[in-house]
Structure 1
Amino acid sequence: MNRLLIMGPQGSGKGTQAARLAEALGVVAISTGDIFRANIKGGTELGTLAQSYSARGELVPDEVTNDMVRDRLQQEDVANGFILDGYPRNAAQVGALDVTLAELGVRLDAVVDLTVERDELLSRLAKRAEQEGREDDTAEAIERRLAVYEQETEPLLALYAERGLQVSVQGTGEVSEITEQILQALRAR
């Protein structure tokens, strides 16, 4: 299990679990959100563009995201595997990822689906906004991102289930217990 996607709505714990799984599996966690935030903080052209979308609770255009992920998957530290966090988010990105993986001669091993009730997500995101002061965690932006997830990203899980790749795990409880549940589910495949 070296090439994974981790999916779930904002606030489901994807970033936390991706980092823990990457360490446990000896692979690289790749978060599009972290890359965008680094570019925003660095004031790059991509960062300015990304910020204009994320501040409104919208997603960065596919072509920018697809190119960024393609470039990242070609870097040396990904040779032993990866966990993609926050990508793909829609059907067009799934197609782009399929092409990229085929070009690299690799395939996905599994897609981890973290499930969390909406009330818990809203509570977590409000707390994160308070603690981190993230500009993209306004109430309006949170609602918009959750709606986009439900409309565009959540349906991708059915596609990955058809491919026999989906592994669903409840994303509530102690962080270490969730990690262990994911690892057990992956081993059971």
Structure 2
Amino acid sequence: MINIVLFGKPGAGKGTQAEFLKEKYNLTHLSTGDIFRYNIKNDTELGQLAKTYMDKGDLVPDEVTIQMLQSEVDKNPNSDGFLFDGFPRTLAQAAALDAFLESKNQSITATVALEADDNILVARLLERGKTSGRPDDQDEEKIRNRYDEYNQKTAPLMDYYKAQGKFHSVDGIGTIAEVTERLTNVFDKF
């Protein structure tokens, strides 16, 4: 079983690449954004709890996010592995994920970061915002704010996984096919 953490700044192409990778390697794709939306839309107990924080403009606490993710892993006992997209975002979440997987006699196989220049990503998101309708993709200041948060909270995960010998960096600039090929070259080593 392989368990991969895929991360990168907003607009780096994680969602697009995750679609190819999950098919090619028969992985279960777990996107925290999708999991949140599902739980809120279906009014689950965890969704209701998350919504109370979100309605106040607060971040959902790690323990709620972790419970949602654990629930999704438990729903897929026959999976060949998981592709974690958007999780972990903090060192506390990474430690919790390691502990949870260890309780299932599993571990993170590798982490792969899609790297790209901020200015290129801003342009991508502003373009995406024209068709996606997402307000957070239509305002350059909000986009750069998201990058600041990423740098403060998520970037330290690189050191965490480097210390475990599980970190890989992939150039996220180019055509979708070019980036997919680069990722495949890394994934084929696992």
Percent identity between matched residues is 38
Which sections of structure 1, spanning at least 5 residues, go unmatched? Answer: none
Give RMSD over aligned pairs.
2.2
Match of 1:13 in 2: 13
Q: How does 1:101-180 map to 2 (within 5 A)?
A: 101-139=101-139, 140-180=141-181
- Structure 2-normalised TM-score? 0.87
Q: CA deviation at 1:36?
A: 2.0
Give the secondary structure class of the aligned counterpart of 1:128. Answer: helix
Q: CA deviation at 1:59?
A: 4.0
Q: CA deviation at 1:73?
A: 1.3
Which amino acid is 2:182 matched to?
Q
Hey, what's the Cα distance between the residues in 1 that align with 2:15 and 2:159?
Answer: 22
Give the secondary structure class of the aligned counterpart of 2:124. Answer: helix
| Residue deviations 1:26-51 (CA, integer Å, cap 9, x gap) | 11111001122334555652563465
Which sections of structure 2, spanning at least 5 residues, go unmatched? Answer: none
The answer on whether the counterparts of 2:66 and 2:97 sit within 8 Å (CA) in structure 1 is yes
The answer on whether the counterparts of 1:6 and 1:83 sit within 8 Å (CA) in structure 2 is yes
The answer on whether the counterparts of 1:7 and 1:111 sit within 8 Å (CA) in structure 2 is yes
| Change in 2 beyond 3 A, CA 1:78/1:152 | farther
Match of 2:27 in 1: 27
The answer on whether the counterparts of 1:10 and 1:146 sit within 8 Å (CA) in structure 2 is yes
Which amino acid is 2:155 matched to?
E
Aligned length: 186
| Residue deviations 1:49-104 (CA, integer Å, cap 9, x gap) | 46537xx6x74321211111111111225631010000000011011101110111
Give the secondary structure class of the aligned counterpart of 2:143. Answer: helix
- Structure 1-normalised TM-score? 0.88
Hey, what's the Cα distance between the residues in 2 that align with 1:131 and 1:153?
Answer: 27
The answer on whether the counterparts of 1:157 and 1:166 sit within 8 Å (CA) in structure 2 is yes
Match of 2:64 in 1: 64
